[in-house]
Structure 1
Amino acid sequence: MNGNIRPVSLVSVVIPARNAETTVTTQLEALCRQTYPDPWEVIVVENGSSDGTRALLRSWQQRMPQLRVVDAAEGCGVNGARNIGCRHAHGEFVLCCDADDVVAPGWIAGLVDALRTSPAVGGALERRMLNPPVALAARPPKESDALLDTFGFLPYPAGANCGFRKDLWSRLGGFDESYRYGSDDVEFFWRAQLAGYRLAFAPRAVVHYRLRRDARAIARQLYRYGHSHPKLYRDFASRGMPSSQLGDVAGAWWRMLVRAPDLVGSADRRAALLAQLATRAGRIVGSARYRRCYL
């Protein structure tokens, strides 16, 4: 390490885990391969699992001394789990990843380096390594060379690969727990930027991102994402988030209508179309629920 760089006293990794028995071992093994040389800890928030996740995590504590398991047995949602993890974190930097992904060896080091000069950061998501062709057809890989910018407003990191200074989390009052699934990460990092905090991208901090494996599961997830978008618009329209444009919406539905035969076509084409339909359907239902039209 450069002698002019102040060492970080402790870094905390927070992982929400719900029904992650089949995947969390791979993520913990990946964390054990980190190149970061200074002290760090892992807080896994066991979020009301009905499988063997809790017992598996307890067994891992014998192998991984820096691992702590915190119980959130009521299943409080991903932001509730993140807040619980942050409250138990002793580090000045908090890094977040998910129990079903795989962090690359330089992940902690990449985020920590970026957090030395920025209060909040995000890393790169790599989609090809862990996912079958059907999943990649539904959610095609993108160049991961910048923060995400889905809504034409402000950039944001994915909750599966982000970091922030713990004092920033405290000043913002934590993650908004009313966002239980979908836009949960967007809301937090938009609020940070609107409060005057700068975000940075950490290209060396790579997470191999696991998608849902079949068309039905992908559609269910994207429906929930779409359902959250009108809520996001309700909360940020007055701060500058643009509305959905009627022409764009009509064009999207027309293209899906033209592609209707794909519903009885190959698995890849069917998954891709269902993903788009699910997102748009979720937005319609969310617009009715939150009384803000965002289609």
Structure 2
Amino acid sequence: MADWETKYQQLVEQYGERQREVEKLHQLLKEITSSRWFRLASFYWRLVGPKKASGGSNPHIPAAPPDPSAGMPEAENANQVAALVPQQAPAPVKGERGERFDVLCLPIIDWDFRFQRPQQLASQFAKRGHRVFYLSQKFHTLGAPFTASEKTQLVWEVSLKGPKRNVYQDMMDDETAYAYFEAVDALRREHGLGATAVIVQLPFWWPLARLLHQRFGWPVIYDCMDYHAGFSTNRPEMLQQEDELLAGCDLVVVPSKFLQDHTQKHNPRVLVVPNACDFEHFAKVPHRPPANPPTIGYYGAIADWFDSDLVADLAELRPQWRFLLVGSTFTADTTRLSRLPNVELVGEKPYGEIPSWVAQMDCLIIPFKRTPLTDATNPVKFFEIMAAGKPLVSVPLPELAPYNDFVSFAENPEEFARQIENALRANGPELVSVRRAFAQQHTWEKRFEMLIPHVAAAFPKVSIVVVTYNNLDLTRQCLESVLTRTEWPNYELFVVDNGSTDGTPDYLWELASKDSRLRVICNPENRGFAAANNQALRLAEGEFLVLLNNDTVVPRGWLSGLVRHLSAHPDFGLVGPVTNWIGNEAQISVGYKRPEDMPRWAQDYVRRHDGEFFDIPVAALFCAAMRRDTFLRVGELDERFGAGMFEDDDYAIRVREAGLRVVCVEDVFVHHHGKAAFKQMENAQYQELFERNRKLFEAKWGKPWVPHRYRSQ
């Protein structure tokens, strides 16, 4: 037994020597990669393109695209189509990214159709720096997985490759859903969609949205704008699918009380966001006295819910009045209207022209039939008409009842005629100003402010835990990178300080006073790595838990990548990224020297290695993520290891004993300075701690500790 102990001690010493030798070689490699000739060679290598790497448990790897920093030509105009073809370098979807999450809109209408709530809210996301990918209802069966056409700054309309379907009448079967999913997955890979909110506006899209949620962890928000049972074209299967969408989505958004009551039968998470107006667009309508004879107007859809007979009766009752009706007449019976000489049906007009048509109208009307469909309506045009300063007479829709100071109600032709005459007589400049002041309180900007915190909260919550012990400069770099580059919007950041004496606590409290996401715990003494992490994990509220060392720096997409893998793979218990410095197989060679170059390099690396992962003996806890249910099954970190070392070896064994996998993912990268806390120790002290914890580990598990290996070993 004594001989065995001696030989084992010799092996451990040899391993320590090998580790120190590897660190020296790593330092030499860093010096080489920082040289001018290496940077020139790297630039050439990016131009000619490296050969695709092989390996990994999931070998689905797209062709390596060029480094975005090499410069790409700008689009010649805003409507230029960038067709992204497999096996070719993709045209980049550009835009400021920072910490803003992306938006994928599965819409009820195409972008260039009538400009209403879908486009207005998408535009508000873009104005706040979110990239918006607005799917087209036109699909293609040949060519690229998707095409992207820029509609306005940070908004692209995207056509998916897949079976052609009518989104209003057809159902999306599993084969079609997977075809569309593969096209969206190509969009994600090529343009780095990380944290992404999926906004669904039509039940047709639910099978695709459900796949995106399951595979990427993206939240599904259902913006339910209509009472779909009220449409004559909707089939029972579509209504059944809406019930599934309502029950399965993370948030329901509705514009009316009627829809709130309807949708809450399926989902308690319902937010009322009424419609609104683009104030500047409609406020440019000039005020003028009513014409004689007056023009009575309407704009919007002239469909089967539009009461054509009511308007025809009114036109016959007041033959001297001009009736100007602007909008598509699809599904409406306009037989009587088209025969009346004082009625003009001018058809659908572009959104940009609507104010000029409204300017011709002296009084506007909303002549809807009273049905469950219209009772559920919160009319966009009400707020727009108020911005234009025009008087309005409407049938008594429930959503307009609170605004009886701004709209007159009528139910038959005679009442409409009387209310219109009253409105025309009272329409002075004072009332115009009152209406416009009201409209300024009901803009799409204000509606967006109501919506955005709830969309952010629909993302699964993540709890990040950082333990600090001195090293203030490294801590500052770490926390600033997390707070400015993490586009996943719903997270809490615990920082547990273990008795730092270099000003770290003061810095943390000051930072926490400026950012509500930060939660600080200050210990009077060094409680050790495991104990400090456990303090925060006991308080954590997240569905996902992440341990992160304070000597790390993260790029955009780091957190969404970890969540994506944990969402897609229920058998993954503990997941860690690749890095530039760690003592095992997660360490890779990197092509950057300066910290500011890391995010660009990491973006290119993870795109080339998208979907790759492998089982690893130990996921080092410099950065590791797990689901809450894994933590509840496995338990807290073992505090017997004191200041640190071997708690990650221990936890990896416990995760596997729980029947789960320990995995390193190649498509998430985190920079690691390495051994920041332990560098503060003397070599003898470090070696003593190593030996103590090794013996504790071996005594606990009844077997010798197996030294970690690098990829080349």
Decide: shared fold, TM above 0.5: yes
Q: How many residues align?
A: 228
User: Does 2:689 match 1:224?
Assistant: yes
Residue of structure 1 equivalent to 2:573: 119
Residue of structure 2 equivalent to 1:33: 484
Taking structure 1 as the reference length, the TM-score comes to 0.67
8 Å CA contact retained: 1:58, 1:69: yes
Change (3 A) 1:165 1:178: same
8 Å CA contact retained: 2:488, 2:559: no
* SS of match in other structure, 1:231: helix
Residue of structure 2 equivalent to 1:143: 588
Summarize the alignment of residues 71-110 of structure 1 with structure 2, pairs less than 5 Å apart.
Answer: 71-110=522-561
Aligned counterparts of 1:235 and 1:229: Cα–Cα separation in 2: 10
Determine what percentage of the aligned residue pairs are the same residue: 26
Residue of structure 1 equivalent to 2:506: 55
Report Cα offsets for 1:48-89 as digits up to 9, x if no partner.
212211100011113332111023333211000110110121
Aligned counterparts of 2:623 and 2:705: Cα–Cα separation in 1: 27
Aligned counterparts of 1:74 and 1:173: Cα–Cα separation in 2: 24
Change (3 A) 1:55 1:236: same
Shift in Å, 1:222? 5.4
* SS of match in other structure, 1:33: helix
Task: Give the residue type in structure 2 aligned to 1:44.
Answer: V
Greater relative CO, 1 or 2 (CA 8 Å, sep 6+): 1
Aligned counterparts of 1:113 and 1:224: Cα–Cα separation in 2: 36
Task: Give the residue type in structure 1 aligned to 2:470.
Answer: N
Shift in Å, 1:10? 0.3
Shift in Å, 1:183? 0.6
Residue of structure 2 equivalent to 1:172: 634
Shift in Å, 1:169? 1.8
Aligned counterparts of 1:16 and 1:216: Cα–Cα separation in 2: 15
Change (3 A) 1:215 1:109: closer
* SS of match in other structure, 2:513: coil
Shift in Å, 1:146? 6.5
Larger Rg: 2
User: Does 2:673 match 1:210?
Assistant: yes
Shift in Å, 1:148? 8.6
Report Cα offsets for 1:194-216 as digits up to 9, x if no partner.
12122222223222111358999
Which residue, 495, 499, 523 being the options, matches 1:44? 495
User: Does 2:647 match 1:187?
Assistant: no
Taking structure 2 as the reference length, the TM-score comes to 0.29
8 Å CA contact retained: 1:148, 1:157: no
8 Å CA contact retained: 1:119, 1:197: yes
Gaps (5+ residues) in structure 1? Answer: 129-137, 150-154, 246-295
Residue of structure 1 equivalent to 2:151: none
Aligned counterparts of 1:95 and 1:23: Cα–Cα separation in 2: 19
Report Cα offsets for 1:228-252 as digits up to 9, x if no partner.
2222222223xxx45679xxxxxxx
Aligned counterparts of 2:505 and 2:475: Cα–Cα separation in 1: 11
Shift in Å, 1:42? 0.4
Aligned counterparts of 2:525 and 2:682: Cα–Cα separation in 1: 25
Residue of structure 1 equivalent to 2:701: 236
8 Å CA contact retained: 1:123, 1:203: yes
Gaps (5+ residues) in structure 2? Answer: 1-195, 199-208, 220-458, 590-611, 708-713
Aligned counterparts of 2:498 and 2:467: Cα–Cα separation in 1: 7
8 Å CA contact retained: 2:697, 2:705: no
Aligned counterparts of 2:503 and 2:692: Cα–Cα separation in 1: 30
Aligned counterparts of 1:207 and 1:60: Cα–Cα separation in 2: 22
Aligned counterparts of 2:498 and 2:679: Cα–Cα separation in 1: 25
Aligned counterparts of 1:75 and 1:93: Cα–Cα separation in 2: 26
Task: Give the residue type in structure 1 aligned to 2:573.
Answer: P
Report Cα offsets for 1:168-227 as digits up to 9, x if no partner.
222223110001211111111211111212222222322211135899958454553344
